[in-house]
Amino acid sequence: ETGVDCGGPDCAPCSQETCSYTLFNSNNFENNLGIWIDGGTDCLWPNRFYSFSNSGIYNVLLRDNTSSSVLTTTNLDLSGAEEIRIDFTYITAFFSNSNDDFWLQLSSNGGSTYSLVEEWNFGDEFQNQARKFESVVIQGPFSANTRLRFRCDASDDYDYLFLDDVSIQVCTPSARASASEGHNRTAAAITEVALYPNPVEEQLTVSFYLPEEARVETVVTDIMGRSLLKQQTASNAGWQEIKIDASSLAPGVYFIHLNARGESVSRKLVVTR
């Protein structure tokens, strides 16, 4: 367009703030529970239900709806976070009641009280034996005594919820970038990042916008931060597309990291078959 500062085929995108997340914690429960606390009798780790794991052989099993049907973090200092994102995968077995569900809860006072963040209901959000991948964004502010809690709200001991590959990512004010920062601030190195298809089976397309010429490094990592795929491209300013062969990746949750000019933007990727 002509006579405007943003938008149109020949201009940078108009201002749109996006959060650039950094990994705070992740656990596939292969070695320990890490920051997560076993609720008791109705929270089982390790357990013998290996086939319900997404990565490795172990998962966390929640069942029934008692005071011990919970998996809770220790106190987390998230006071500097503007928003957080919780990614996880789950699968259920033997749920049968339309009132059966499970919740993600948040506490800002070290677990004295909890508020509901999200709930998933049997027959609505999920069915038995069908794996799901979830991503939940929670807006701040947060405290230095933040706790997150998964709670099973089912009917009895034989309603099984299996959790795996749980990660927490944070966005701080300094990590928030915008597509067009205006005349008084430097534009972000990479903006307008999109992945498609996502979930992906074979080939992934990553599209993004470069305000100026840059060498872009694309890295695919697992939830533990291990680098699995990496490539570099030298690109001119403008809209970009990168193709990534995801066929070598096992089904699960991964992260795409785009690095350019000292900045990094991350997005979640789900691989299915």
The CATH number of whichever domain residue 267 belongs to comes to 2.60.40.2550
**Number of domains the chain is built from:** 2
Q: Is it true that the peptide bond before 46 is cis, omega within 30 degrees of 0?
A: yes
* Model confidence at 38: pLDDT above 60: yes
**Residue finishing a domain among 145, 171, 197:** 171
In a domain, 5, yes or no: no
In a domain, 2, yes or no: no
3-state SS string for the chain: CCCCCCCCCCCCCCCCEEECCEEEEEECCCCCCCCEEECCCCEECCCCCHHHCCCCCCCEEEECCCCCCEEEECCECCCCCCEEEEEEEEEEECCCCCCCEEEEEEECCCCCCCEEEEEEEECCCECCCCCEEEEEEEECCCCCCEEEEEEEECCCCCCEEEEEEEEEEEECHHHEEECCCCCCCCCCCCEEEEEECCCECCEEEEEEEECCCEEEEEEEEECCCCEEEEEEEEECCEEEEEEEECCCCCCEEEEEEEEECCEEEEEEEEECC
**Residue finishing a domain among 140, 171, 202:** 171
**31 and 148 in one domain?**
yes
In a domain, 29, yes or no: yes
In a domain, 10, yes or no: no
**27 and 124 in one domain?**
yes
**150 and 218 in one domain?**
no
**157 and 41 in one domain?**
yes
Does the pTM surpass 0.75? The reply is no
Highest mean pLDDT: which range of 85-89, 90-94, 186-190: 90-94
Q: Within 13 Å, how many C-alpha atoms sit on residue 248's CB side? A: 8
In a domain, 4, yes or no: no
Residue 6 pLDDT grade (very low, low, confident, very high; cuts 50, 70, 90):
low
In a domain, 6, yes or no: no
* Model confidence at 138: pLDDT above 60: yes
Q: Which domain holds residue 125?
A: 22-171
Structure-model confidence comparison of residues 131 and 173, the more confident one: 131
**Residue finishing a domain among 171, 195, 210:** 171
**137 and 51 in one domain?**
yes
* Model confidence at 28: pLDDT above 60: yes
Structure-model confidence comparison of residues 189 and 50, the more confident one: 50
- Mean model confidence pLDDT for the chain: 87
In a domain, 71, yes or no: yes
